Amino acid sequence: MTRERCADGCIRRGDQPAASAPPVRHWLLIEQPGPWGAHPWRDSALPAPVVAAVAEQAAAVNARVLLIRRPGRTPPGRRQWAFADSTPGSERIWWTPFDEPAELLDLGLAAPRGNPSPDPVYLVCTHGKHDTCCAIRGRPLAASLATARPAQTWECSHIGGDRFAANLLVLPHGLYYGQVPAARGPMIAERHEAGLLDVPHLRGRSTFSAPVQAAQQFVRERTGEAGIQSFPPVSVLRVGHELWDVSLAGGGVVRVRAVFQRSDTPLTCAASVPAAIRHFELVE
């Protein structure tokens, strides 16, 4: 009997994408064309000393490292690396071209240099060696976005939440979207550039904790307000077991509860046993 793919199981169960964005504030993107292994850094074609140096520099500034590549065939030419800061109100991304891997030995991440860009970046996880669903569902989305935003669209390595494929990460804001149909990608880009979120597919913002992401989602659904900068958190107070009061500017105090339930199948294509699924409830 053929095993159910994780993204199909996620849809069948009705898993909630909201409040599932992992916590990340800083990002290091390195262009690496060609296939990626299941562990892109360990299996990278980059020299081992470069891999070690990049990992050390990223750890020093708490940056998550992602490999990126252009959808389709990559033309020869200079590669690029980028550093992105997703801190609310200070969102920036800097790009730097490079020719040789040795140029990555000293990135200077403590004081980012390079070419600051005003344009958002659309990263689609297509890391099939990590999870098959990411390739099956991610590649059509990447192709669709590349048609609409060719200079701003990249495929990327694993970003988390495989079962929500196709997954889209918008930098520098750190916005995660999940279960994105290929045809919807260009619309998400248009809305983002107009300062708006695509609320139905939003997983959350990586600079906010899961309770904050959940509270914001409930308020957006109630009010219809979809501004990217709307409802910033003022305070978060844990008031009980898996229970939080989240105060949002313009949204009041929202009480949310985390609820866990056991899945009937593994949550990713690579997993071998079922696991707990977390979602949030609004406590009236």
How far is Cα 47 from Cα 32, in angstroms, rounded to an integer?
Answer: 12
Per-run averaged pLDDT (10 residues), the chain, 284 residues: 84 94 98 84 83 95 96 81 97 96 93 91 90 92 98 96 95 98 98 98 99 99 98 98 98 98 85 89 95
**Which pLDDT score is estimated for 38?**
78
Distance CA 36, CA 57 (A): 22
Provide the pLDDT for residue 176: 99
What's residue 75's pLDDT? Answer: 67
Are 83 and 28 in contact by the 8 Å Cβ rule? The answer is: yes
Which pLDDT belongs to residue 106?
A: 93
Q: Indicate the burial class of 279 (C-beta count within 10 angstroms; 0-12, 13-18, 19 or more).
A: middle
- Which is nearest to 54 in space by CA: 41, 37, 43? 41
Distances (CA, A) of 196 to 109, 141, 164, 219: 30, 19, 21, 15
Question: Tokens in use for 197?
Answer: 């979120």
CB 20 within 8 A of CB 204: yes
Cis peptide before 166 (omega within 30 of 0): yes
What length does the chain have? Answer: 284
pLDDT of amino acid 164: 95
What's residue 1's pLDDT?
58
The one-letter amino acid at 278: R
The DSSP code for 72 is: S
Coil, strand or helix at 136: helix
- pTM, to two decimals: 0.96
100, 120 Cβ separation under 8 angstroms: no
**Residues linked to residue 254 through DSSP beta bridges, in sequence order:** 246
Looking at residue 72, its pLDDT comes to: 85
What DSSP assignment string belongs to 162-194?
Answer: GGGPSPEEEETTTEEE-S--GGGHHHHHHHHHT
Predicted pLDDT of residue 149: 98
Tell me the chain's radius of gyration from C-alpha atoms. 19
pLDDT, residue 284, reads 86
The rounded distance, in Å, linking the Cα atoms of 171 and 178 is 15
d(Cα 281, Cα 18) in Å, to the nearest integer? Answer: 11
> Hunting for tokens 């159910």 — which residue is that?
4
Q: Please, are residues 121 and 85 in contact by the beta-carbon 8 Å criterion? A: no
Domains and CATH numbers, the chain: 6-202 (3.40.30.10), 208-282 (no CATH)
Q: Please say whether the dihedral angle defined by the alpha carbons of residues 66, 135, 175 and 172, taken in this order, is positive or negative.
A: positive
